[in-house]
Amino acid sequence: MNEDRAKGNWKQFKGKIKEQWGKLTDDDLDVIDGKREQFVGKIQERHGIAKDEAEKQIDEWHRRNPEFHWNV
């Protein structure tokens, strides 16, 4: 997947991500920019949960949204 498509994919899913993790800000989402490791860290920070729990939540969300692709 080229970079432009990956970035478009991220923009498309921002709303769904904010529904799941309401404490994430628009600035957080700009920093995350579709990168999994940044996503895990911001969820930990904003929601006060452990890394393994954040990863579990992301994995569950991704199973429900298989058309989402991580930016690399």
**Whether this model's pTM surpasses 0.75:** yes
Residues 2-25: pLDDT tens digits? Answer: 555 556 688 889 999 999 999 999
Q: Which residues contact 58 (CB under 8 A, 6 or more apart)?
A: 36, 39, 40, 43
Does domain 3-64 bear CATH number 1.10.10.10? no
Three-state SS sequence of 3-56: HHHHHHHHHHHHHHHHHHCCCCCHHHHHHHCCCHHHHHHHHHHHHCCCHHHHHH
Residues 19-52: pLDDT tens digits? Answer: 999 999 999 999 999 999 999 999 999 999 999 9
The domain spans of the chain are: 3-64
